[in-house]
């Protein structure tokens, strides 16, 4: 485990290396989600995605970057305020906008800096989020493949996943009647 501080965003981040780093390692950029990762909230898919990634990385090797970007960058308190708005019927992106935030404040420059510090410039990225790949490429990291994460859909996160696909451009195929 390697900790990073003093990067452009001023936050503390962690890289977890699973085995020796390959020439083109599998990499997961995972934004912190206290409610999903720690408390098992079913209103998002963060916890199951983290578990899936860690299992895949443990089996095949690679790097997990755990990024301190709670609530797509709005922070924990604001995310909890956004949850209250979601409980009133807004989707996750509309709730951010209602709180005067953009849809997604995350910047992956620090992730690129972390990878470069580890000697990694070409990766297989474990994500459904095309913005992660685009931003990493703009910061000098070549994404040679995007490996999709699973779809962890339930009755509590269906609206959230639909919003991620519609407004966030995530590669999520939701089949009707499966939530």
Domain layout of the chain by residue ranges: 2-168
Q: How far apart are CA 46 and CA 152, in angstroms?
A: 9
The pLDDT assigned to 92 comes to 87
Q: How far apart are CA 146 and CA 128, in angstroms?
A: 8
More confident residue, 163 or 79: 79
Of the ranges 6-10, 150-154, 155-159, the best mean pLDDT one:
6-10
Q: What is the pLDDT of residues 44-87, one digit of tens each?
A: 878 988 999 999 999 999 999 999 999 889 999 999 999 999 99
Residue 148: pLDDT over 90:
no
The pLDDT assigned to 167 comes to 58
Residue 104 annotated to the active site: yes
Residue 159: pLDDT over 60:
no
Question: For the domain 2-168, what is the CATH superfamily, name and number?
Answer: GTP cyclohydrolase II (3.40.50.10990)
> Per-residue DSSP letters for 85-132?
HHHTT--HHHHHHHTT--S-----HHHHHHHHHTT--EEEEE-S-HHH
Q: What is the pLDDT of residues 121-146, one digit of tens each?
A: 999 999 988 889 999 999 999 999 99
The pLDDT assigned to 94 comes to 92
Q: How far apart are CA 101 and CA 93, in angstroms?
A: 9
- Percentage of the chain beyond pLDDT 70 is 83
Candidates 70, 57, 76, 46; CA nearest to 15 is 57
Residue 33: pLDDT over 90:
yes
For residues 108 and 145, the answer to whether their CB atoms sit within 8 Å is no
Average of per-residue pLDDT values in the chain? 88
Residue 37 annotated to the active site: no
Q: How far apart are CA 147 and CA 126, in angstroms?
A: 5
Task: Provide the strand spans (E) within the chain.
Answer: 2-4, 13-18, 26-31, 62-67, 122-126, 142-147
- Give the max Cα distance, the chain: 48
Confidence of residue 179 (pLDDT cuts 50, 70, 90): very low
Q: How far apart are CA 158 and CA 62, in angstroms?
A: 30
For residues 68 and 29, the answer to whether their CB atoms sit within 8 Å is no
For residues 110 and 11, the answer to whether their CB atoms sit within 8 Å is yes
Q: Which of 9, 37, 45, 106 is the catalytic position?
A: 106
Q: What is the pLDDT of residues 13-27, one digit of tens each?
A: 999 999 999 999 999
Q: Which of 28, 104, 109, 148 is the catalytic position?
A: 104
For residues 77 and 32, the answer to whether their CB atoms sit within 8 Å is no
């Amino acid at each position: 485990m390697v900790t990073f501080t003093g990067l452009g965003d001023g936050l503390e981040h962690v890289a977890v290396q699973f085995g020796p780093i390959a020439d083109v390692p599998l990499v997961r950029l995972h934004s912190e989600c206290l409610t999903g990762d720690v408390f098992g909230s079913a209103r998002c898919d963060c916890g199951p995605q983290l578990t899936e990634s860690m299992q895949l990385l443990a089996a095949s090797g690679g790097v997990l970057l755990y990024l301190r970007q709670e609530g797509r960058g709005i922070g924990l308190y604001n995310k909890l305020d956004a949850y209250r708005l979601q409980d009133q019927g807004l989707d996750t992106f509309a709730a951010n906008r209602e709180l005067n935030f953009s849809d997604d404040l995350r910047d992956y420059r620090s992730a690129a800096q972390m990878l470069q510090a580890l000697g990694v410039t070409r990766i297989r990225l474990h994500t459904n989020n095309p913005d992660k790949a685009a931003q990493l490429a703009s910061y000098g990291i070549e994404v040679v493949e995007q490996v999709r994460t699973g779809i962890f859909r339930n009755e509590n996160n269906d609206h959230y996943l639909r919003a991620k696909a519609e407004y966030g451009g995530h590669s999520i195929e939701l089949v009707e009647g499966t939530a």
